[in-house]
Amino acid sequence: MRNTRLLTLLECAIFAALAMVVSFIPLDIGSSFSISLGMIPMYIIAIRRGFWAAGFSGLLWGLLHFVTGKAYILSPLQGFIEYIVAFVFIAFAGVFAVQVRNYLKAEQLGKAIGWAWGTMIIGGVARYFWHYLAGVLFWGAYAFKGWSAQLFSAVMNGISCLATVIVAGIIITILMRISPKLFLPK
């Protein structure tokens, strides 16, 4: 039991570091829109290890933004919401992890992929809800002329969430087809 816990913690740290490395690939358009490729390793750990591991790994990834200077901070509360709370909520990408793994074990790839997409959408929306909230509370001054903070944040974070889930989902689907064992811990 102790070795399993240690192995899970090590996997969380590795996937968080991998997420940080991948997030240096420049897919940002301005300060308001980005495709977060770091979600790919987050989705893998979420499916592989479940809710709590995804939340812990997300927390580590969020903290790495501070360490690497990749955090955009307007105030302590905004930094906390966007780099701690939002990243911990990646945990919700693990809500259907058991179903995905069970279908992979049963070699029912289509069902596994369907459940994986469901869990990735939930995890993406859970994370980006907090970015939306921070956008309304802190980034409203950067909204396009004539746009409310709510509309600007909903559009920018909604598009970022959608693009991230689609790109990451396609890659996760390919990885499940090529190497389903990547999602199954030993």
Classified as helix, coil or strand, 34 is strand
Tokens of 102: 């069970």
CATH classification number, 47-183, choose in 1.10.1760.20, 2.30.40.10, 3.40.50.720, 1.10.287.3510: 1.10.1760.20
Instruction: Please give the distance of CA 180 from its chain centroid, rounded to a whole number.
Output: 20
Tell me how far apart the alpha carbons of residues 91 and 85 are, in angstroms, rounded to a whole number: 10
Helix axes 97-105, 39-49, angle to 10 degrees: 70
Q: What is the pLDDT along the chain (186 residues), one digit of tens a residue?
A: 568 899 999 999 999 999 999 999 987 776 667 899 999 999 999 999 999 999 999 999 999 999 999 999 999 999 999 999 999 999 999 999 999 999 999 999 999 999 999 999 999 999 999 999 999 999 988 888 999 999 999 999 999 999 999 999 999 999 999 999 999 998
Query: Residues 6 or more apart from 77 whose CB is under 8 A from it?
Result: 138
Domain boundaries, the chain: 47-183
DSSP structural state of residue 79: H
φ, ψ at 29 (rounded to 5°): -120, 100
DSSP structural state of residue 142: G
